[in-house]
Structure 1
Amino acid sequence: MSSSKSLDTTSIRRDRFPHLTAIDTRWMDNDAYGHVNNVVYYSFFDTAVNRWLISQGLLDIGTSDAIGLVVETGCRFFAPLSFPDRVTAGLGVQHIGTTSVRYEIALFRNDDDIAAAIGHFVHVYVDRTTRRPTPIPSATRTALESLRLTS
């Protein structure tokens, strides 16, 4: 998704995403204006991606040889979230390269079908020891294909 494109928020619906995960807001997530602070949205993105990787057996935080480092992230906000909302993160993959993957993540408030925010998150896979780029492991690549977005 390019920031120069006009985005039709009515097209960002739950059913677009191959994987959904629930994330609870916390009292401390609210800022002085009574809504979830923007930095927390990035934490939700990180949680959605890494929770999926761990649940698929693709990431062991302490021992995986190849690890994904975040090199880019962005967010567009459409509607506020606030405590005690339940957030559902929709997770999909836009692009898979040799050493990188670009995720698209949408955040849905409670039972809303239209996204309150949408963002992207890019992992570059590196060797844990050398921190040099390395190809995405084949099992990870196969699993990422199951999250590929069709449009």
Structure 2
Amino acid sequence: MKIQAKRRSDFGHFHEITTRWMDNDAYGHVNNVVYYSWFDTVVNQFLISHQVLNIEKSNVIGLVIETQCNYFASVAFPEKVTAGVSVSKLGNSSVRYELGIFKADETEACAQGHFVHVYVDRESRRPVPLPEPLRLLLQSIKSDS
């Protein structure tokens, strides 16, 4: 089964990212590991900017337990990209984020993937229910699929 690139309309929040010279690898394009950094950036920027995560003080934090990415077109420095995020599954203590990377004004993702956060108590590292403000925010970008 061929995976189809998602469209900008599949995502509920966006964050512009400027590529850096060091992002390019020996083959002249952004290295695959950088995409995972972009995924992490758009999710955490969304949570922090909406004040549901304080990376230094929140009692509940999200730990990544699963990641995946598909690539459709390469990106290279000095391009700017836009990262999109939506939520496809919202559990009691976990969330699956869907992510897309878009070049310039393109409507189809040049890369897309997901990662899963399990929310845990900062001290014990045991799963806890999503705090209500976090759950409400995540529901605001939940996809219908």
Same fold (TM over 0.5): yes
How many Å separate the matches in 2 of 1:65 and 1:128? 5
Are 1:17 and 2:11 an aligned pair? Answer: yes
Q: Secondary structure at the match of 1:45?
A: helix
The code of the aligned residue for 1:8 comes to: Q
- TM-score of the superposition, structure 2-length normalised? 0.97
Are 1:8 and 2:4 an aligned pair? Answer: yes
Residue of structure 2 in register with 1:144 after alignment: 138
**1:45-124 mapped onto 2 (5 Å cutoff):** 45-124=39-118
Number of corresponding residues: 145
- TM-score of the superposition, structure 1-length normalised? 0.93
Residue of structure 2 in register with 1:41 after alignment: 35
Residue of structure 1 in register with 2:125 after alignment: 131
How many Å separate the matches in 1 of 2:85 and 2:133? 18
Identity %: 55
Deviation at 1:8, TM superposition (A): 2.1
**Structure 2 alignment gaps of length 5 or more:** none
Moved over 3 A (4+): none
Higher mean C-alpha displacement, 40-49 vs 110-119: 110-119
The code of the aligned residue for 2:123 comes to: T
How many Å separate the matches in 2 of 1:36 and 1:110? 15
Deviation at 1:121, TM superposition (A): 1.0
Deviation at 1:108, TM superposition (A): 0.2
Deviation at 1:100, TM superposition (A): 0.3
Residue of structure 2 in register with 1:29 after alignment: 23
How many Å separate the matches in 1 of 2:122 and 2:135? 18
The code of the aligned residue for 1:38 comes to: N
How many Å separate the matches in 1 of 2:67 and 2:28? 24
Q: Secondary structure at the match of 1:40?
A: helix
